[in-house]
Amino acid sequence: MNTQTYISDDLVAIQSKLKESPWLITCLCAAWCGTCKSYREAFDLLQNAHPEKCFAWIDIEDHADLVDALDIENFPTILIQYESKLLFLGTMLPDANLVNRLISSLDDSLQRLGLDQTPSTIQNSDYPLPANWSLRELIERID
C-alpha cells in the first residue's frame, strides 16, 4: 500500500488514494473561513498520522457539485465514510485530537461490530440526505 503523503485538496490525488483505502475522512470548508484556514495545518498533521486512510480537504464553494446535497451551516464540517457507508457527518470544533478520537472510535466499532452494525452519526439540520448519497462515489466519478 502506498503511504506517501499527498495533497488532500487535489482531487486526482484523492481519487488515487481512494483506490487504496476504504476510508474517506473529509474536512468540508470554505476558503474565506478563518477558522478553516487555521485548522488546515492540524488536519494535514492528522493525515500524516493515518497514512493508510484517505483524507480530503474540500472547499464547498469550489466543489459545490460534490456537496450540493449537504446542508453545511458551520465550519469545519467533518465527513467520514467507510466504503459506501457514511459514518459521520457534522460540525466539530477545529481540534484534530477530536477527529483523531472519532476515527479511532469508528475504527474500533468497525472491528468489533462490522460495517453493517456500526452506527452512523449524521448532524444534518432540516435537509435529509438523499438515499445512497456518497461523497466517495462522487469523487471517484470525476473525470
Write down the pLDDT at residue 2.
39
CA distance 129 to 103: 22
pTM exceeds 0.75, yes or no: yes
Residues 107-129 have pLDDT tens digits of 999 999 999 999 999 886 566 77
Alpha-carbon separation of residue 143 from 27, 79, 81, 93 (angstroms): 22, 22, 21, 33
Write down the pLDDT at residue 5.
56
CATH number at residue 67: 3.40.30.10
For residue 6, is it within any domain? no
Q: Which of the residues in the chain have pLDDT under 70?
A: 1-6, 124-127
For residue 5, is it within any domain? no
- Tally of domains in the chain: 1
